[in-house]
A and B are shown apart, each in its own frame.
Chain A
Amino acid sequence: DQQVKQNSPSLSVQEGRISILNCDYTNSMFDYFLWYKKYPAEGPTFLISISSIKDKNEDGRFTVFLNKSAKHLSLHIVPSQPGDSAVYFCAASAGSGNTPLVFGKGTRLSVIA
C-alpha cells in the first residue's frame, strides 16, 4: 500500500517555463512534507519542506503548495533551468522531528534548452 504517490513518472518542460510536480498521500497522520532532488549516482538532496500548518512555502524559484483536504501537494519551479533536470522525490512524515520519511516513487524532470 503506497502512502505517498507520485503518479507521473516523468515530465518534460522547456527552459524558462514552469515545472509542476505533483504528489498525493493517503495517511492522515502525515503533517510534514519534503521534496528531495536526486542526480544520477548521487544521494537525494533536500530541496524544500512544508508543515501542515501552512499551505505554501517559497524558496527562490521553488514553491511548495499543500492542500490538506485533498491530501495533495505540488512543487512549482519557476523559471525552470536545464540544471533542474533530475528525479524529484516527495516525502512525508508524521511529525517534524526525527520521524521516518515515507517516499514516493519519484518524477523524472527533464528541462529542455
Chain B
Amino acid sequence: EAGVAQSPRYKIIEKRQSVAFWCNPISGHATLYWYQQILGQGPKLLIQFQNNGVVDDSQLPKDRFSAERLKGVDSTLKIQPAKLEDSAVYLCASSLSGSSSQYFGAGTRLSVL
C-alpha cells in the first residue's frame, strides 16, 4: 500500500514570495490533515479536511495561508506571502473516517530567507 506522498521535499524561497505544497493521501482515506512543525517543536495542526470539506482551520493563519482539497483526494497548501517565521517542515497526514491513526508523509522542509 502506497503511503502519503508529499512534494516537493525541500523548498527555499525569499520572504514575501509564494509557495505551494502538494499532498496525495493514502487511497480511501477521507480525512486529511496539514501540520506545521517548527524546529524543536511538535507538529501543530493547521487544517483538517473530511473529504473536500474543512472540519477545522482554527489555527490556520488565513491572512497568508490557504488550503484546498477540491476533489476530496489530493490537497494543496499555499503560503502567500511567506514570512521568515514560516520556515518549518509541513507535514501532511491522512486517516480513515472515524480512526485516530494518522499516517504521515515525509514532509516538505521550507526555508524562508
Determine the chain A residues whose CB is within 8 A of the CB of B25 once the complex forms: none
| B20 adjacent to chain A (CB < 8 Å) | no
Which of A12-20, A65-73, A75-83, A94-102 is the interface stretch?
A: A94-102
| A43 adjacent to chain B (CB < 8 Å) | yes
Cα distance A107–B45 in the bound complex, in angstroms: 19
Cα distance A32–B31 in the bound complex, in angstroms: 18
Known contacts A43-B4, A89-B42, A100 near B100 by CB under 8 Å: no
Known contacts A41-B106, A43-B104, A43-B105, A98 near B42 by CB under 8 Å: no
Determine the chain A residues whose CB is within 8 A of the CB of B103 once the complex forms: 46
Chain A residues 19-78 with CB under 8 Å of chain B are 32, 34, 36, 41-46, 49
Determine the chain A residues whose CB is within 8 A of the CB of B40 once the complex forms: 105
Cα distance A103–B93 in the bound complex, in angstroms: 14
Which of B48-56, B61-69, B79-87 is the interface stretch?
A: B48-56
Contact of B100 among A32, A89, A102 (CB under 8 A): A32
Contact of B106 among A42, A49, A96, A98 (CB under 8 A): A42
Residue in B41, B43, B99 with the greatest tally of chain A CB atoms within 10 Å = B43
Q: In the bound complex, do residue A46 and residue B101 qualify as a contact, i.e. CB atoms below 8 Å apart?
A: yes
Chain A residues at the B interface, C-beta cutoff of 8 Å: 4, 6, 32, 34, 36, 41-46, 49, 89, 91, 93, 95-106
29 contacting pairs across A/B (C-beta < 8 A): A4-B42, A32-B100, A34-B101, A36-B104, A42-B106, A43-B93, A43-B106, A44-B43, A44-B104, A46-B101, A46-B103, A89-B42, A89-B43, A95-B100, A97-B98, A97-B100, A98-B31, A98-B48, A98-B55, A98-B98, A98-B99, A100-B33, A100-B56, A101-B100, A102-B45, A103-B43, A103-B44, A104-B42, A106-B42
Q: Given A34-B101, A43-B4, A98-B97, 9 more contacts at CB 8 Å?
A: A41-B106, A43-B107, A49-B100, A99-B100, A100-B56, A103-B42, A103-B44, A104-B42, A105-B42
Chain B residues at the A interface, C-beta cutoff of 8 Å: 4, 31, 33, 40-45, 48, 50, 55-56, 91, 93, 95, 97-107
